Amino acid sequence: MSFSIALNFEDGVTRFIRCNPGEKVLDAAYRQKVNLPMDCSDGVCGTCKCRCASGEYDLGEDFLDDALSNDEAQERLVLTCQMVPQSDCVIDVPVAAAMCKTSIGSVEATVTRCEARTPGTIELEMALAQGMDFLPGQYVNIQIPGGPHVRAYSFSSLPGETQASFMIRNVPGGMMSTWLTQRAQPGDALSLTGPMGSFYLRPLTRPTLMLAGGTGLAPFLSMLRQLASTTVTQPITLLWGVNVDDDLIMADTLDELATQIPGFSWLPIVADGEGRCERKGYVTDHFSDDMLNGGDVDVYLCGPPPMVDAVLKTFRERGIEPASFHYEKFAASQSAAA
C-alpha cells in the first residue's frame, strides 16, 4: 500500500505525491516530477532538510550529524533523501513551489447545484473532472466565469472525492456572488486551482476547540467529515457564531456529525439579541474554562478579521496561551485566503 504525502511549500501551495513502501520521499518526489531541494542525496549536506508536520516515518541512521542533529530530529526535522514514510504524512518544505519546478494544480468542474440558502449564504456543489486531494481545512481559488478574477473558498466536503461543496458568503455586488445568484446554472463550467493554505486539521493529541464565524464553518465541515471516519479519543467543541437564527442552516448536519464522532459537541451562538437561540452575543462571550482547558488545547479559528482579533484579545485578557493556535481570516472580495 502506498502512502499519501502532502508537500506544503512556503508560498502556500500544496502538492500531493504517492510514496511506495520502503521508498524515500526524495525519490518519490522526483519520480512524480517534483524537484525537492537536494545536493548530495546521501544524508551528508542537509540541503533537503524539511519538517514533518504529521505522520510516521523512519529516518534510518545513514546520515551525518552535521546534516541533521539529534535535537533537530527530535523536533521532527527530516532529510527527505533518507525519510521513509510509515503512514500518510504532511511535510513542510521551506521553499516556494516554483523553486521545485512544480506549480499549483488545477481541476475542471461543472456546477451541479447552486442555492442561496439565506440572504447571506450560498451553497455551491460541483462535480470534479477528477478527484482533488487536499488537507481538510484547505481552500482553492475558483475562477469567476468570463474573466481572469478568482475567489478563494474552503472545501466543506471530503478530500479526494469527485463531488465538492462550498459554503460561500453572499456579498451584495460581489463579482462571484453576482454570478452565483444571477447566472449560475447546473452544467456551467468552473476552473479550480489549488489546494492551498496552512489552515488544516492536525492530528488530535489534546482537547480541540473550533471557532467558526458565519461561512467560516465550511473548513470545519470538511475536518469533521474526515474525523467521522477515524477513531477520535479527544474531546472536540465547535462554537459557531452567526448573525441571525436563520443563518444556522447546517444545524442538522452538525447534529448528525455529533452522533458519528465520539466526544464532539457544538454550540450555536447568534448575535441578534432578539433571536430564538439560547446563546446570544459573540463566540468570545461563551468560552468556558472546560473548553480552554488551562491552555492545554488546540484552537482552530476561521472567521472575519474582527473575530480573529477579538479571540486573540480574549485569550490575552484571560491569560490563556493555547498549545497551538491555527487561524484563517477571510475578507469579502479576497482572491486568496490570508
pLDDT band at 186 (very low <50, low <70, confident <90, very high): very high
pLDDT band at 147 (very low <50, low <70, confident <90, very high): confident
Residue-level pLDDT at 271: 93
Q: What is the mean pLDDT of residues 102-124?
A: 92
> Domains, the chain, ranges and CATH?
3-100 (3.10.20.30), 106-196 (2.40.30.10), 208-329 (3.40.50.80)
Q: Would you say 7 and 96 are in contact if contact means Cβ atoms under 8 Å apart?
A: no
Grouping H, G, I as helix, E, B as strand and the rest as coil, residue 84 is strand
Q: What is the mean pLDDT of residues 241-255?
A: 95
Average pLDDT of the residues of the chain: 92
Q: Is 52 exposed, middle or buried (0-12, 13-18, 19+ CB in 10 A)?
A: buried
Residue-level pLDDT at 74: 93
List Cα–Cα distances, 6 to 87, 245, 281, 306, in angstroms.
Answer: 12, 38, 39, 31
Q: Would you say 140 and 127 are in contact if contact means Cβ atoms under 8 Å apart?
A: no
Residue-level pLDDT at 332: 59
- Bridge pairing between strands 106-118 and 14-19: unpaired
List Cα–Cα distances, 31 to 20, 28, 37, in angstroms.
Answer: 11, 5, 14
Residue-level pLDDT at 333: 52
Is residue 336 predicted with pLDDT exceeding 60? Answer: no
- How does pLDDT run across 13-57, given as a tens digit for each residue? 999 999 999 999 999 999 999 999 988 888 889 999 999 999 999
- How does pLDDT run across 193-220, given as a tens digit for each residue? 999 998 999 999 999 999 999 999 999 9
| Residue scoring higher pLDDT (239 or 146) | 239
Across 67-71, 171-175, 260-264, the highest mean pLDDT is recorded for 260-264
For the chain, what percent of residues have pLDDT higher than 70?
Answer: 98
Residue-level pLDDT at 334: 43
- How does pLDDT run across 148-170, given as a tens digit for each residue? 899 999 999 999 999 999 999 99
Cell of 198: 496552512
- How does pLDDT run across 309-331, given as a tens digit for each residue? 999 999 999 999 999 999 998 76
Residues 6+ apart with CB under 8 A from 74: none
Does the pTM surpass 0.85? The reply is yes
List Cα–Cα distances, 248 to 241, 264, 327, in angstroms.
Answer: 9, 18, 22
Is residue 192 predicted with pLDDT exceeding 90? Answer: yes
